[in-house]
């Protein structure tokens, strides 16, 4: 009976995490909102705004997420997850709602609420929720990561139809002469969509917050339940972040930590272990691992295509197709691939580890990105289905980045400090978004889309090369060329 109750509580916690991440997934509606927002600004508040500047909405949001994520992970260990997640939810829904006021002033003020406050909000709680939910089912961390992040990916599926039905219920076409929407009734509804979305997000967050809970302290019966439920990989459920009432780490682990205080950092890195025989590196120990820097660079390569796809894929389609309802529908359906992909990639990582799937993701992503700006060569009657297919494929590969990178962090450095460690790796988004947004927004060329998508595809190929050299301890040495080279070098030096 107790085992059943524990499982039910774990399921409820996962559902709560999915709901909160669903509200974070409002981020994926940026590509749907941008045509409306740019049209409104050009008519009412900022007539000089350019399409190229729109990339800053996505880029700055991800940059703020990268800054806030390690801070949220650290704050959760000090103050508990509830304070962190509650502040996160308030900033997310509040930032969206406040955009009602800022969009009526200027491009810069919109960035403050729609990107900075909102990005800091979901970054602050992002990895903390992953840690809380996955601690209930430690043998299925990859799957739980995929399910919770699948909620994030569902954002555009849930929220895009609401936005489109509210702002453009009659499928008003873009004014081809002006290059944007000019219908007065449509434009007057644009500010109010942010009040609507802010209220919806807050309601969902409230339910998710009430369901979210952390693993209680373990007694013998709970340990037996855990052993039965997670037979393949007996990792203690106490690898959760600290809660308000105290840490969930057991006393034996604390004593082991005290006895290791006199060891060198290198010795600690080798000796720190969880009950499954894996490692649990702290952030100081992680900073001494080459794989940390390689994974950081690989994450850096993912941010470049992410901001391009989530910012301008609809604007690019609008260049050749004036059907706003079709383009919004593509954005909506892409959420299914974004969500389903996260669960699928997470399950694949549980089965085969992270290295080979991430390499495959980078290759597929690169191919679709490089070919995307050439879709205008497709015959007109086939353009819509081909465009939709490419967008779906790109969102499926995007889902892999967000699902597999946390799992890679967990496998390489252990689950105990995954919130902080992944947060630091995610800080690569800060550099990547700001650099790439600065380059692309300043482009004044005839075919900027060609350079943006091709450059993103090349970044994916670079990411593939970087991942190729990471040592995945779950794979044989033949799949880890760096490990093979290191062993060969050691043998030569010993001869």
- Between CA 311 and CA 318 the distance in angstroms is 13
Cα dist from 39 to 26, 95, 104, 107, 166, whole Å: 20, 21, 12, 12, 16
Q: What is the pTM of this model?
A: 0.69
Closest CA to 130 of 446, 442, 327, 407: 407
Residue 285 and residue 272 in contact, taking contact as beta carbons nearer than 8 Å: yes
Query: How many whole angstroms from its chain centre is CA 450?
Result: 25
Report the pLDDT value the prediction gives residue 222, as an integer from 0 to 100.
56
- Between CA 141 and CA 347 the distance in angstroms is 9
Residue 16: CA atoms inside 13 Å, Cβ hemisphere, count?
Answer: 27
Burial 285-311 (b: 16+ CB within 10 A, else e): bbeebebbebbbbbbbbbbbbbbbbbb
Cα dist from 373 to 176, 272, 394, 456, whole Å: 20, 49, 13, 11
- Between CA 142 and CA 380 the distance in angstroms is 42
- Between CA 132 and CA 239 the distance in angstroms is 9
- Between CA 463 and CA 358 the distance in angstroms is 9
Report the pLDDT value the prediction gives residue 230, as an integer from 0 to 100.
52
Closest CA to 23 of 225, 240, 208: 208
Report the pLDDT value the prediction gives residue 218, as an integer from 0 to 100.
60
Residue 24 and residue 152 in contact, taking contact as beta carbons nearer than 8 Å: yes
Report the pLDDT value the prediction gives residue 103, as an integer from 0 to 100.
92
- Ordered by start, the domain boundaries in the chain are 2-216+284-483
Report the pLDDT value the prediction gives residue 315, as an integer from 0 to 100.
75
Domain 2-216+284-483 has CATH 1.20.1250.20: yes
Could you identify the residue written with the tokens 């799957």?
Answer: 143
Length of the chain: 495
Q: What is the pLDDT along the chain (495 residues), one digit of tens a residue?
A: 556 887 888 899 999 999 999 999 998 888 888 888 988 888 887 777 777 777 888 888 888 988 898 889 889 989 989 999 999 999 999 999 999 999 998 888 999 999 999 999 989 998 899 889 988 888 777 788 878 888 887 888 889 899 999 999 888 887 777 777 888 899 999 999 999 999 999 999 999 999 998 887 665 445 555 555 555 444 333 344 444 444 444 444 444 444 444 444 444 444 444 433 467 888 888 888 889 999 999 999 998 888 888 777 777 887 788 788 888 888 889 888 888 888 888 888 888 888 989 999 999 999 999 999 898 888 888 889 999 999 999 989 988 888 888 888 888 888 778 778 888 888 888 888 888 777 776 666 667 778 888 988 999 999 999 998 888 888 777 777 777 676 666 677 666
Q: What is the 3 state secondary structure string of the chain?
A: CHHHHHHHHHHHHHHHHHHHHHHHHHHHHHHHHHHHHHHHHHHHHCCCCCHHHHHHHHHHHHHHHHHHHHHHHHHHHHHCHHHHHHHHHHHHHHHHHHHHHHCCCCHHHHHHHHHHHHHHHHHHHHHHHHHHHHCCCHHHHHHHHHHHHHHHHCHHHHHHHHHHHHHCCCCCCCECCCCECCCHHHHHHHHHHHHHHHHHHHHHHHHHHHHCCCCCCCCHHHHHHHHHHCCCCCCCCCCCCCECCECCCCHHHHHHHHHCCCCCHHHHHHHCECCCCCECCCHHHHCCCHHHHHHHHHHHHHHHHHHHHHHHHHHHHHHHCCCHHHHHHHHHHHHHHHHHHHHHHHHHHHHHCCHHHHHHHHHHHHHHHHHHHHHHHCCHHHHHHHHHHHHHHHHHHHHHHHHHHHHHHHHHHCCCCHHHHHHHHHCHHHHHHHHHHHHHHCCCCCCHHHHHHHHHHHHHHHHHHHHHCCCCCCCCHHHCHHHHHHHHHHHHHHC
Report the pLDDT value the prediction gives residue 156, as an integer from 0 to 100.
82
């Amino acid at each position: 009976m107790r085992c059943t109750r524990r499982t039910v509580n774990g399921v409820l916690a996962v559902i709560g995490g999915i709901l909160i991440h669903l509200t974070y997934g409002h981020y994926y509606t940026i590509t749907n909102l941008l045509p409306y927002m740019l049209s409104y600004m050009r008519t009412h508040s900022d007539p000089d705004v350019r399409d190229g500047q729109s990339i800053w909405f996505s880029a700055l949001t991800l940059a703020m997420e990268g800054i806030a994520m390690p801070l949220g992970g650290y704050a959760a260990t000090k103050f508990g997850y509830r304070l962190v997640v509650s502040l996160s939810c308030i900033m997310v829904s509040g930032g969206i709602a406040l955009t009602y006021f800022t969009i009526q002033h200027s491009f810069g003020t919109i960035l403050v609420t729609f990107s900075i406050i909102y990005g800091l909000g979901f970054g602050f709680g992002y990895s903390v929720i992953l840690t809380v939910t996955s601690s209930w089912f430690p043998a299925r961390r990859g799957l739980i990561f995929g399910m919770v992040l699948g909620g994030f990916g569902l954002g555009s599926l849930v929220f895009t139809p609401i936005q489109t039905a509210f702002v453009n219920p009659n499928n008003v076409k873009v004014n081809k002469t002006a290059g944007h929407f000019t219908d007065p009734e449509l434009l007057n509804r644009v500010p109010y969509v942010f009040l609507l979305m802010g209220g919806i997000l807050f309601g969902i967050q409230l339910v998710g917050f009430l369901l979210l809970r952390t693993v209680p302290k373990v007694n013998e019966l709970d340990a037996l339940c855990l052993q039965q439920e997670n037979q393949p990989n007996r990792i203690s459920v106490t690898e959760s972040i600290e809660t308000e009432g105290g840490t969930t780490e057991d006393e034996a682990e604390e004593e082991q930590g005290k006895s290791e205080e006199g060891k060198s950092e290198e010795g600690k890195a080798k000796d720190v272990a969880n009950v499954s025989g894996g490692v649990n590196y702290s952030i100081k120990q992680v900073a001494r691992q080459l794989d940390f820097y390689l994974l950081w660079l690989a994450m850096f390569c993912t941010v470049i295509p992410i901001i391009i796809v989530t910012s301008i894929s609809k604007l690019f389609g609008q260049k050749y197709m004036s059907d706003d309802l079709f383009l919004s529908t593509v954005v909506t359906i892409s959420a299914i691939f974004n969500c389903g992909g996260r669960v699928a990639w997470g399950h694949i990582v549980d089965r085969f580890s992270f290295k080979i799937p991430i390499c495959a993701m980078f290759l597929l992503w690169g191919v679709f990105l490089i070919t995307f700006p050439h879709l205008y060569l497709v015959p007109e009657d086939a353009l819509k289905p081909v465009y939709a297919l490419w967008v779906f494929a790109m969102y499926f590969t995007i889902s892999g980045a967000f699902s597999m990178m946390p799992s890679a962090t967990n496998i390489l450095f252990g689950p105990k400090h995954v919130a902080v460690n992944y947060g630091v790796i995610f800080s690569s988004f800060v550099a990547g978004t700001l650099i790439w947004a600065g380059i692309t927004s300043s482009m004044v060329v005839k075919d900027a889309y060609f350079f943006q998508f091709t450059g993103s595809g090349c970044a994916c190929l670079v990411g593939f090369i970087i991942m190729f050299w990471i040592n995945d301890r779950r794979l044989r040495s033949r799949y880890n060329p760096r490990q093979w080279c290191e062993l060969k070098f050691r043998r030569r030096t010993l001869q």
